[in-house]
Amino acid sequence: MGTVSIVGVDPMAASMRLHHLLKTAAIPIPLSMADLEIRAVSGDSRRLPPAALFVGVPGTHVDGGEYWSSSLAGGAAVAVVGPQAARKHPPGPEDPVVVVDDPAACLGRLASAFHGHPSRHLQLVGVTGTNGKTTTTHWIEHLSTAMGTSTALLGTLGNRWPGTVIKAGHTTAPADVVQGHLAQAVADGVQRAAMEVSSHALAQQRVAGLVFAGAVFTNLSQDHLDFHGDMASYFQAKARLFAADTLHGQAVINCEDPYGRRLYQQLGSKAWGCRLVDPRQRHRYPSNSGAELLMCDLVMGARGVEGRLVSPMGEGRFRSPMLGRFNLMNLLQAVGVLLACGAPLPPLLEHVPHFGGVPGRMESIAAPDITVVVDYAHTPDGLANALQALRPFVVGRLICVFGCGGDRDRGKRPLMAAAAAELADELVITSDNPRTEDPQGILDEICAGLPTGTPHRREPGRSLAIHKAVVQAA
């Protein structure tokens, strides 16, 4: 990969007068502040370079705008805050504080303007959905890079492009951080970026100020209801990626998913629908005026899948090393969005067999006499998909080790247990980052979803649970 560096903002690298910067977000500014020099835009009051513009964004638990005073004391030139923060901690007449209705939206737009609108200088592809974001973005990166296009990857497993690797703290970083990464990528000659876009990021406007050349909707199933409240709100958050002011290119939608079909209908000709079907069945779901991407003539085996891909730009045969129907959909959507971005189909399909997979996504681990597979599945649908993909190749028993995270959607716990009980032969139920919850309490809620008589054991210690499952399998 070459030299690895950690990207930071050089406070001397760029500057902009405040009135020019705020004008891009249509923010009125007092004349006394108009000529202030801004050398950075940040939403983190703890890490402000000199002469920064601090934007205090309301969070789930804390309103960042309440820290405007400490941000100015720490070297910020000006603070942008919301009405609630200004009421709680009123600024004085001489304080360089600007009050706006929506600081979350302003942060992304201001950071975009400060960095020269980097998403306009490459092809930015966003991928959203409950499951499949990471694998789909890795497919996009692999295929795009193999065809000679310098490509960045931004998501759960980190942010990288040629010569640079940056550790990720979120699936989608805060808006100012995303804009900084993209600006550095553009400066390094990157031509395309594949970005995971979480529902939290969309709800919190972390993608404000970005322009997407293409977008993918993978699926929607129960997750994050502790944050969104219900599935309708969860879907509405995901759908924001496809709004006209955000997406300037084509949408590629999984039409095997009921929420995907709804979105496909809403978007009309802006959407391409994806199905794994025989071409004779292509109109089994309601058509809009958009095109379709299909996979057909599929032959699945222990070493992968062969088949034919039909697209608006032609068709061709492919061979993929990835197991599972859901992985085929990830591939189909990656190819589809690259076609929409102008890539030709034949070389795309030529590079499919050389995909090396994604760490922790249906990843095979070497072990004597048994097959061990690690997958990130953390929703009922994701766990069911993983087990269904493995089931046809099981000679002996299929043993599933899983758990559920603490302080997260509790409603999915018994549903994951039910999915595992239906598709695996034996279960080992363990702890998965309990956070502030009692691990045994989480296990109780998981086990409440098990049918009577389901073969299972409880082992809160994850390492011990995995060890017991391996010994049991051998």
User: Tens of pLDDT along 446-456?
Assistant: 999 999 999 99
The C-alpha torsion from 421 through 425 and 426 to 430, rounded to 10°, is -50
Mean pLDDT for the stretch of residues 368-386: 94
Q: Amino acid letter at 280? A: R
Query: Over the stretch 56-106, which tens digit does the pLDDT of each residue have?
Result: 999 988 999 999 999 999 999 999 999 999 999 999 999 999 999 999 999
How far apart are alpha carbons 474 and 371 in whole angstroms? Answer: 10
- Asked if residue 388 has pLDDT above 60, the reply is yes
Split at pLDDT 50, 70, 90, the class of 224 is confident
- Asked if residue 285 has pLDDT above 60, the reply is no
Split at pLDDT 50, 70, 90, the class of 222 is confident
Other C-beta atoms within 10 Å of 229: how many? 10
Query: Over the stretch 327-336, which tens digit does the pLDDT of each residue have?
Result: 999 999 999 9
How far apart are alpha carbons 288 and 262 in whole angstroms? Answer: 11
pTM (two decimals):
0.90
- Asked if residue 12 has pLDDT above 70, the reply is no
Q: What pLDDT shows up at residue 284? A: 54
- Asked if residue 283 has pLDDT above 90, the reply is no
Out of 9-18, 239-248, 279-288, 379-388, pick the least confident: 279-288
Enumerate domains of the chain plus CATH numbers. Answer: 16-113 (3.40.1390.10), 115-354 (3.40.1190.10), 363-473 (3.90.190.20)
Stretch (H or E) spanning 146: helix 133-146
Split at pLDDT 50, 70, 90, the class of 11 is very low
Distances in whole angstroms, Cα of residue 368 to Cα of each of 31, 322, 394: 73, 22, 16
- Asked if residue 6 has pLDDT above 50, the reply is no
Out of 200-209, 267-276, 358-367, pick the least confident: 358-367
Give all strands (DSSP E) within 172-313, no chain letters.
192-196, 212-217, 247-254, 271-276, 292-301, 304-311
Q: Which residues is 127 bridged to in the sheet?
A: 196, 216
Q: How far apart are the first and last CA of the chain?
A: 38
Q: What pLDDT shows up at residue 302? A: 82
Do 195 and 108 meet the contact criterion of CB atoms below 8 Å apart? no
How far apart are alpha carbons 426 and 413 in whole angstroms? Answer: 17
Average pLDDT of the chain, as a whole number: 92
Do 124 and 193 meet the contact criterion of CB atoms below 8 Å apart? yes
Nearest to 128 by CA among 238, 227, 235: 238
Angle at 162 between CA 336 and CA 157, to 5 degrees: 65
Q: What pLDDT shows up at residue 287? A: 56
Residues 6+ apart with CB under 8 A from 207: 108, 126, 172, 175, 178, 197, 201, 241, 246
Ramachandran region of residue 319, left (φ > 0), alpha (ψ -120 to 50) or beta?
beta
Query: Over the stretch 115-154, which tens digit does the pLDDT of each residue have?
Result: 999 999 999 999 999 999 999 999 999 999 999 999 999 9
Distances in whole angstroms, Cα of residue 390 to Cα of each of 161, 362, 375, 467: 32, 9, 11, 20
- Asked if residue 424 has pLDDT above 60, the reply is yes
Q: Which long-range contacts (CB under 8 A, 24 or more apart) does 275-284 make?
A: 276/325, 276/328, 276/329, 276/332, 279/310
- Asked if residue 277 has pLDDT above 90, the reply is no
Structure-token pair, residue 119: 């998403």
If you search the block for the tokens 């699945």, which residue do you land on?
Answer: 300
Residues 6+ apart with CB under 8 A from 464: none
- Phi, then psi, of 192 in degrees rounded to 5: -145, 150
Q: What pLDDT shows up at residue 29? A: 85
Structure-token pair, residue 112: 């975009």
Q: What is the DSSP letter of 61?
A: S
